[in-house]
Amino acid sequence: MTGRAVVKGVGHYLPARVVPNSEFEKTLDTTDEWIRSRSGIERRHFAAEGETTSDLATKAAQAALDDAGLRADQIDAIVLATSTADLTFPSAATMVQARLGMTSGYAFDVQAVCAGFVYALSNANALIVSGQAKRILVIGAETFSRIMDWTDRSTCVLFGDGAGALVLEAEESAGTPQDRGILAVDLNSDGRYRDLLYVDGGVSTHTTGYLRMQGNQVFRHAVEKLAQTAETALEKAGLHSADVDWIVPHQANIRIIQGTAKKMGLPMEKVVVTVQDHGNTSAASIPLALSVGKQRGQIQRGDLVVTEAIGGGLAWGAVVLRW
């Protein structure tokens, strides 16, 4: 028998304000056509003034708890992936813990930028498999609108705000690739690529800073590394691309998503795509897509799901799980 971390619930929250591409035509030398054709993005949500990452995260977490039929006091831990926490400290995770009324257990943030949710899932899985928690809320939540340089057309049209969450629960399984739950993880980073995607400020430089990206360079790495990490994770699980029911990729660019599916030999019919509606929500994009994919009736119990993501660091990775 093997302990597995099995998905018991999923949920998401998007801020009310929807911003179509045409909004950017008013202030920047850009067009709806350029943004759609280069990225696949049509609109994105932006948090209201005063609405923070922990606000979005709390609503997504509550939705996941409701979906699982659980109360917050039945959760042992919260792992929250974000690069845009409300404050330098305490963690956004402990703020969510308090807002949910959870007075025991433990909560912490994970920061791996756009790969954050994959890293958070890996951490949560390790805590469950090692017996340090029975039930964990795994959240991805971001307010990237706060770190946009609104004069930089090459970045500010690409990102959005949002949050998604999963409830994972320990379950004894046969220890085979047919088990439900997280079956394998592959994580990677290479700090030599720091300058390809970063924020030019931070606590120890006394600034907040803005996101800077050499988009075409990140694009090149993404196409090369995403299919590779997904295939490595599948191999670790004793599975192959042909076994996959759904790829749920980080939603940064439809061309990267298509390129990765093609390299894995999978048709787009097996890919959950939300980038047109959410833009790139960094660590929130995968749990948002999982939640929307379930709502649409795409992801069903027993389906083999592969998530993969890459972002600042560079940091990248994949998780294979059976829903």
Catalytic residue status for 221: no
Nearer to ligand UT7, 60 or 218 (CB): 218
Strand partners, 168: 7, 136
- Residue numbers at the binding site for ligand UT7 (CB under 6 A): 30, 34-35, 38-39, 114, 153-154, 157, 215-216, 218-219, 222, 252-253, 256, 280, 310-311
Write a three-state SS string for the chain: CEEEEEEEEEEEECCCEEEECHHHHCCCCCCHHHHHHHHCCCEEEECCCCCCHHHHHHHHHHHHHHHHCCCHHHCCEEEEECCCCCCCCCCHHHHHHHHCCCCCCEEEEECCHHHHHHHHHHHHHHHHHCCCCCEEEEEEEEEHHHHCCCCCCCCCCCECEEEEEEEEEEEEECCCCCCCEEEEEEEEECHHHHHHEEECCCHHHCCCCCEEECHHHHHHHHHHHHHHHHHHHHHHCCCCHHHCCEEEECCCCHHHHHHHHHHCCCCHHHECCCHHHHCECHHHHHHHHHHHHHHCCCCCCCCEEEEEEEECCCEEEEEEEEC
Give the span between the Cα atoms of 246 and 171, in whole angstroms.
22
Contact (CB, 8 A) for 143 and 84:
yes
Active-site position among 21, 114, 123, 278: 114
Catalytic residue status for 114: yes
In the complex, least distance from residue 95 CB atom to ligand UT7, rounded to whole angstroms: 24
Nearer to ligand UT7, 224 or 243 (CB): 224
Active-site position among 12, 45, 250, 278: 250
Nearer to ligand UT7, 164 or 181 (CB): 164
Nearer to ligand UT7, 210 or 323 (CB): 210
When CB distances to ligand UT7 are compared, the closest residue is 215
Measured over the CA atoms of residue 268, residue 40, residue 109 and residue 135, the dihedral's sign is negative
Write the burial class of residue 177 (CB in 10 Å: 0-12 exposed, 13-18 middle, 19+ buried).
middle
Write the burial class of residue 314 (CB in 10 Å: 0-12 exposed, 13-18 middle, 19+ buried).
buried
Catalytic residue status for 156: no
Active-site position among 123, 125, 253, 280: 280
In the complex, least distance from residue 101 CB atom to ligand UT7, rounded to whole angstroms: 33
Nearer to ligand UT7, 316 or 323 (CB): 316
Nearer to ligand UT7, 239 or 310 (CB): 310
Nearer to ligand UT7, 90 or 259 (CB): 259
* Residues identified as active-site: 114, 250, 280
